[in-house]
Chains A and B, each alone.
Chain A
């Protein structure tokens, strides 16, 4: 028998038995950040490949999701801060060892770039749009002229944003469930699949829909591989990580994880994507919504379960 009692103190409100410091705003932001990263990645990629006309929705229309998602995500992050009046301290320093620090700077860049990108394509939605002020027109002309470098910046920062949402968690060795480097590519894949699903949902062009259905299928397969890979890593690791993995393998998060993330969020949409590509007509709404839901649930479950996992001593 080994029993541990805290006989005094440590009655920190909301602290014990585990430190559950991050609530819904964090996973919500991680989802929206990943979605924005996915959407902007494909917009930049297909622009740089010279397929702007062919995949109009992906390059010109769907990116409008990104600034909205990022602003809501940033608002959620701000809401989550306990010492809000000092949030500007984030932008007085860059701390390379802190993913949250360079993540804050990355967000500043990607949000700005996404707003510029949308401004350049505003006539997709408002054909008669007029910027009214001369200096705004000058800015538009400037970025239109340098759209290629802008797209490169967007591509690179979209990848950084997607990876960073995972690295943010994997940097914490105190929470063994998060402490795996697979989380970076896994969150990136999850964000990219959410982005591809949004394009499939929004596009009215069959060719474009089929392309992004194919991409979505590949990413979902990668995600499944990474999840299996992650559990293999956990189970081959130390006792703390074996127990962390146990949360999903018989523990309290088992049902919700395998049902919402793996079955509903990956396997079923992957099968539906495959059927669509084989010529069966599937309403785009079903796999698209399922992928978004799976991506959303993945962040929630991971952030909450991670805070339950801990070192044993």
Chain B
């Protein structure tokens, strides 16, 4: 099993509903967030190109945060989801420094927090909160090992990219381009 997410950069309008849905669903402390929206503008006026990306933890296949964690608090569970066990985390910040996507942050309670792919919802057969709430339905989630999952189907159909794969992280967050 290999969970992954695909975000359609052509359909995303940058409304940030995914951000708010995540904050609500996961009780993210005020001022923090586990996902965010990036707008990249390329070109010279009037030939401008905009790319909108809803970004979060890439649940990397080769996760530097898991590698550098001194206590094993950062770990990978079935399906390749990277999680943090709060009671094992000492809050040293090594994983935060090690993430090229800056996807982690220190929770005010001391431990490090991040996107969980809404594992609690996924286990019950639901989609992650950000995916479920998207008004343009630009996000796809599922198991890459299952050829019929939403994410497998769309990745077969469309061209996609990942963010800085050259960092050697094997990111599992795909952007349809």
Name A138-188 residues within 8 Å CB distance of B: 171-175
Is residue A259 contacting chain B, with contact meaning CB distance below 8 A? no
Is residue B72 contacting chain A, with contact meaning CB distance below 8 A? yes
Q: List 12 A-B contacts (CB under 8 A).
A: A4-B39, A6-B38, A8-B16, A9-B19, A15-B102, A82-B111, A83-B110, A83-B111, A86-B110, A89-B90, A92-B71, A100-B92
Q: Which residues of A contact B87 (CB under 8 A)?
A: 86
Is residue A90 contacting chain B, with contact meaning CB distance below 8 A? yes
1/0 per position for B95-108, CB-CB distance to A under 8 A?
01111101001100
Contact indicator B39/A100 (Cβ below 8 Å): no
1/0 per position for A1-44, CB-CB distance to B under 8 A?
11111111111110110110110000000000000000000000
Contact indicator B67/A21 (Cβ below 8 Å): no
Q: Which residues of B contact A278 (CB under 8 A)?
A: none
Q: Which residues of B contact A171 (CB under 8 A)?
A: 67-68, 98
Q: Which of B138-146, B147-155, B163-171 contacts A (4 or more CB under 8 A)?
A: B163-171
Q: Which of B2-10, B40-48, B118-126 contacts A (4 or more CB under 8 A)?
A: B40-48
Contact indicator B70/A310 (Cβ below 8 Å): no
Chain B interface residue count, Cβ-Cβ cutoff 8 angstroms: 50
Contact indicator A13/B31 (Cβ below 8 Å): yes
How far is B14's CA from A92's CA once the two chains are assembled, in angstroms?
A: 44
Is residue A313 contacting chain B, with contact meaning CB distance below 8 A? yes
Q: Which residues of B contact A4 (CB under 8 A)?
A: 38-41
Contact indicator B64/A7 (Cβ below 8 Å): no
Q: Which residues of B contact A222 (CB under 8 A)?
A: none
Least distance between B32 CB and chain A CB atoms (Å): 5
Contact indicator A6/B67 (Cβ below 8 Å): no
Name A77-110 residues within 8 Å CB distance of B: 80-87, 89-90, 92-93, 95, 97-101, 103-104
Contact indicator B100/A89 (Cβ below 8 Å): no
How far is B164's CA from A131's CA once the two chains are assembled, in angstroms?
A: 61
Contact indicator B71/A93 (Cβ below 8 Å): yes
Question: Assuming A89-B88, A174-B98, is B19 touching A8 (CB within 8 A)?
Answer: yes
- Chain B residue at minimal CB-CB distance from A26: B93
- Chain B residue at minimal CB-CB distance from A303: B97
1/0 per position for B1-33, CB-CB distance to A under 8 A?
000000000000010100100000000000111
Least distance between B119 CB and chain A CB atoms (Å): 20
Q: Which residues of B contact A312 (CB under 8 A)?
A: 164
Q: Which residues of B contact A103 (CB under 8 A)?
A: 70
Q: Which residues of B contact A (CB under 8 A)?
A: 14, 16, 19, 31-33, 35-44, 64, 67-73, 86-94, 96-100, 102, 105-106, 109-112, 163-164, 166-168
Contact indicator A98/B36 (Cβ below 8 Å): no
Contact indicator A10/B33 (Cβ below 8 Å): yes
Question: Assuming A83-B91, A98-B67, is B16 touching A9 (CB within 8 A)?
Answer: yes
Contact indicator B36/A9 (Cβ below 8 Å): yes
How far is B91's CA from A99's CA once the two chains are assembled, in angstroms?
A: 16
How far is B113's CA from A13's CA once the two chains are assembled, in angstroms?
A: 13
- Chain B residue at minimal CB-CB distance from A77: B92
Contact indicator B92/A81 (Cβ below 8 Å): yes
The 6 A-B pairs with the shortest beta carbon distances in the complex, nearest first, are A82-B91, A9-B36, A83-B91, A83-B110, A8-B16, A10-B36
Q: Which residues of B contact A19 (CB under 8 A)?
A: 96-97, 99, 102
* Contact among A7, A97, A307 with B67 in the assembled complex (CB-CB below 8 Å): A97
Contact indicator B42/A311 (Cβ below 8 Å): no
How far is B72's CA from A93's CA once the two chains are assembled, in angstroms?
A: 8
Contact indicator B68/A98 (Cβ below 8 Å): yes
Q: Which residues of A contact B71 (CB under 8 A)?
A: 86, 89-90, 92-93, 95, 101
* Contact among A12, A86, A100 with B32 in the assembled complex (CB-CB below 8 Å): A12
How far is B73's CA from A7's CA once the two chains are assembled, in angstroms?
A: 31
Question: Assuming A11-B33, A15-B102, A22-B97, is B90 touching A2 (CB within 8 A)?
Answer: no
Contact indicator A7/B44 (Cβ below 8 Å): no
- Chain A residue at minimal CB-CB distance from B168: A173
Contact indicator A81/B33 (Cβ below 8 Å): no
Q: Which residues of A contact B36 (CB under 8 A)?
A: 6, 8-10
- Chain B residue at minimal CB-CB distance from A13: B31
Contact indicator A1/B68 (Cβ below 8 Å): no
Question: Assuming A83-B111, A84-B91, A172-B98, is B32 touching A5 (CB within 8 A)?
Answer: no
How far is B71's CA from A101's CA once the two chains are assembled, in angstroms?
A: 7
